[in-house]
Structure 1
Amino acid sequence: MTAPATATATTTSGPGQPAGSLAVESTGLTKRFRRQVAVDGIDLAVPRGSVYGFLGPNGSGKTTTIRLLLGLIRPTAGSHSLLGQPMPQAAARVLPGVGALVEGPAFHPYLSGRANLLRLDAADRTAEPGTARRRVDAALDRVGLLAAAGKRYRAYSLGMRQRLALAAALLAPRELLILDEPTNGLDPQGTREVRALLTHLAAEGATILLSTHLLSEVEQICTHVGVMHLGRLVAQAPLAELRAGAVPRVRVETDRPEAAARVLRELGMSGVETATETATAPLGRLAPEKIVAELVRHDVPVRGFAVVAPDLEEMFVSLTGEGFDVSG
């Protein structure tokens, strides 16, 4: 297992940004549970209009951070704001504009999906009672549950329950959506539909903070990324910037990978790895043509040679030293 990288955070937004440029901002946000530090002094900066992928292994502090942001638990130290307003002081003003899905969905089991949403809507003092039925059905339709609106919640599958929770977050127009694993339990078709919905909501101007285990989701819809590890924010940047800063690797295809690896090491390249008929290493400052010339000079048969940028999984492992679920 690769050792975790030194914790560094790259940000393009944060303290000192123009007022209102951030939908989510925190300074030194910390949460301790007795002796355990679950969230350790993080400085989140989620630009308005972005789709922010919030990544991290299980137990890294993502869900605790989300609960802190929404005011469900109080921080031990630090401060944060949503939509430019301090929390929890401005919670009554801010939260009507925030839709959220946190951990597993929870609804009344003996009520239908529609009845559950109507009860939630009735508890919202900012909602218009006269439009409740229309808005509930519109939310159900957006997540593909309108046909099952009259079905009792206890009969819903895990995927249907997840869709209902997402519909609850969409009962009213939202400036900010904070979603914890919104595609959990969905089949591939449902996952694609939710991705398309989130892309559409972002195009309409909503800011989305998306906690996920699926790197494919991040690659397809996210504009910014934050990576948590052991309660700390170890990286934060626009996705394109994170990719641009990644070190490319050379990959040599040969039937003598050990000989190729030896040449790469003699050229001063570190982190050389071998596999069946391949040798790889970070490129560094060497010109690729020089590497090929040295391989040929040492009689290493080169069947293929490429300079490849690391994918998101490799960047994640370099930051945390841990693997990740890349399915989906």
Structure 2
Amino acid sequence: MPELAVQSRGLSKRFGRQVAVDAVDLAVPRGSVYGFLGPNGSGKTTTIRMLLGLIRPTSGGHTLLGERMPDRAASVLPRIGALVEGPAFHPYLSGTENLRRLDAADLTVDPASAGNRIGAALDRVGLTAAAGKRYRAYSLGMRQRLALAAAMLAPRDLLILDEPTNGLDPQGTREVRSLVAALAAEGATVLLSTHLLAEVEQVCTDVGVMHQGRLVAQAPLAELRAAATPRAQVTTDRPVEAARVLRELGLTDVATATREASGILGPVPPEKVVAALVHAAVPVRGFAVVAPDLEELFVSLTGEGFDVSG
């Protein structure tokens, strides 16, 4: 089993009678980009807040970078950069001044190199031109960029980013994805909380799927894809008759559309489908075996839709 940057056992949080997070067992491999995926309200942010010690779990425990939390928080947290929910800074200070105050609170860095660190962080998120502007004048996207810069003021072994592309335009979203990939290439582990499937497809190596406070799936993304059952798609002038044949063969979730019938293959060999259609005198104009895309895969796990934009 790979070394884990984040590990939890039975991590749970209740607010009165409401169970927000229910016995979550996270396993985030070191060096991975872990997509922490789920619809809004599925418990992702509450889990992250527990991981960082911002709220106490009702039960369960966890480690970060191999150190038990919260016992080792003082030594572990300086090695972690985080962006959680909406960023908050001093409204009447500039971007540079806000970062300078945050940097001064970090006792593990050299104050003499603060200017270089701040300048590099602002440049990396594309805020150099707005560094002297007051935070109150920043757009939502600029505020999100400043929060990312704050998370990267010093080299980090682990970055925990909660919806980092929130409020960004398409160009900014692409830049954040590129930044996440670059951080991973430099050796950092990134836990990326999101409800955007495009982010997962483009940058993540591993995935955990949350639904109603539970972790319903967790695996390398390639492994999760490989485990998905493909669909048979038949192009025909008689889709209703084709659908009947598919059902008789044992295919499930059979559906029809104009000039098409489809169903989940399961254990049925594709060649048997074509032979049965021909035997039933159903004209087959096209046949394909299609692996489910991420949207279908995650909807099958949660029963809810995801935002596939971004």
**Range into which the TM-score falls when normalised by the shorter chain:** over 0.9
Residue 271 (structure 1) aligned to one of 249, 253, 266: 253
Q: In the TM superposition, what whole-angstrom CA distance separates every residue of 1:125-184 from its partner, at most 9, and x where no partner exists? A: 222211111100100000011111011111111111111100000000000000000011
What percentage of residue pairs aligned between the two structures are identical?
Answer: 78
Q: Is 1:226 aligned to residue 202 of structure 2?
A: no
Q: Is 1:160 aligned to residue 142 of structure 2?
A: yes
Residue 249 (structure 1) aligned to one of 221, 228, 231: 231
| Displacement of 1:298 | 2.0
After superposing the two structures, state which structure 1 stretch, 281-290 or 102-111, moved more: 281-290
Unaligned segments of structure 1, at least 5 residues: 1-12
Q: What is the DSSP-based 3-state SS (H/G/I as helix, E as strand, rest coil) of the residue aligned with 1:292? A: helix
Over aligned residues, Cα RMSD in angstroms? 1.0
Q: Which residue in the other structure is 2:34 paired with? A: 52
Residue 43 (structure 2) aligned to one of 57, 61, 66: 61
Q: Is 1:151 aligned to residue 151 of structure 2?
A: no
Q: In structure 2, what is the Cα distance between the partners aligned to 1:256 and 1:153?
A: 62
Q: Which residue in the other structure is 1:258 paired with? A: 240
Q: Is 1:123 aligned to residue 105 of structure 2?
A: yes
Q: Is 1:172 aligned to residue 154 of structure 2?
A: yes
Q: Is 1:325 aligned to residue 307 of structure 2?
A: yes
Q: In the TM superposition, what whole-angstrom CA distance separates every residue of 1:266-320 from its partner, at most 9, and x where no partner exists? A: 1122211122322111112222122112212223222221001111111101110
Q: Is 1:306 aligned to residue 292 of structure 2?
A: no
Q: In structure 2, what is the Cα distance between the partners aligned to 1:256 and 1:107?
A: 62
- Which AA in structure 2 matches 1:166? L
Q: In the TM superposition, what whole-angstrom CA distance separates every residue of 1:14-73 from its partner, at most 9, and x where no partner exists? A: xxx7xxx11000011010000011110111000100100001111110000000000000
Q: In structure 2, what is the Cα distance between the partners aligned to 1:307 and 1:237?
A: 24
Instruction: Give the TM-score normalised by structure 2.
Output: 0.98
The higher relative CO (CA closer than 8 Å, separation ≥ 6) is in 1
Q: What is the DSSP-based 3-state SS (H/G/I as helix, E as strand, rest coil) of the residue aligned with 2:62? A: strand
- Which AA in structure 2 matches 1:58? N
Q: Is 1:103 aligned to residue 85 of structure 2?
A: yes
Residue 188 (structure 1) aligned to one of 170, 186, 199: 170
Q: Which residue in the other structure is 1:80 paired with? A: 62
Q: In structure 1, what is the Cα distance between the partners aligned to 2:168 and 2:52?
A: 25
- Which AA in structure 1 matches 2:52? L
| Displacement of 1:188 | 1.1
Q: Which residue in the other structure is 2:276 paired with? A: 294
Q: Which residue in the other structure is 1:8 paired with? A: none
Residue 8 (structure 2) aligned to one of 26, 32, 38: 26
Q: In structure 1, what is the Cα distance between the partners aligned to 2:64 and 2:80?
A: 9
Q: In structure 2, what is the Cα distance between the partners aligned to 1:192 and 1:132?
A: 28
Q: Which residue in the other structure is 2:298 paired with? A: 316
Q: Is 1:92 aligned to residue 112 of structure 2?
A: no
Q: Which residue in the other structure is 2:94 paired with? A: 112
Q: In structure 2, what is the Cα distance between the partners aligned to 1:25 and 1:286?
A: 39
Q: Which residue in the other structure is 2:198 paired with? A: 216
Q: In structure 1, what is the Cα distance between the partners aligned to 2:22 and 2:134?
A: 41
Kept in 1: contact 2:197–2:294 (CA 8 A) = yes
Count of residues paired in the alignment = 310
Q: In structure 2, what is the Cα distance between the partners aligned to 1:180 and 1:73?
A: 16
Q: In structure 1, what is the Cα distance between the partners aligned to 2:150 and 2:269?
A: 55
Instruction: Give the TM-score normalised by structure 1.
Output: 0.92
Kept in 1: contact 2:250–2:268 (CA 8 A) = no
Q: In structure 2, what is the Cα distance between the partners aligned to 1:244 and 1:314?
A: 14
Q: Which residue in the other structure is 1:285 paired with? A: 267
Kept in 1: contact 2:81–2:160 (CA 8 A) = yes
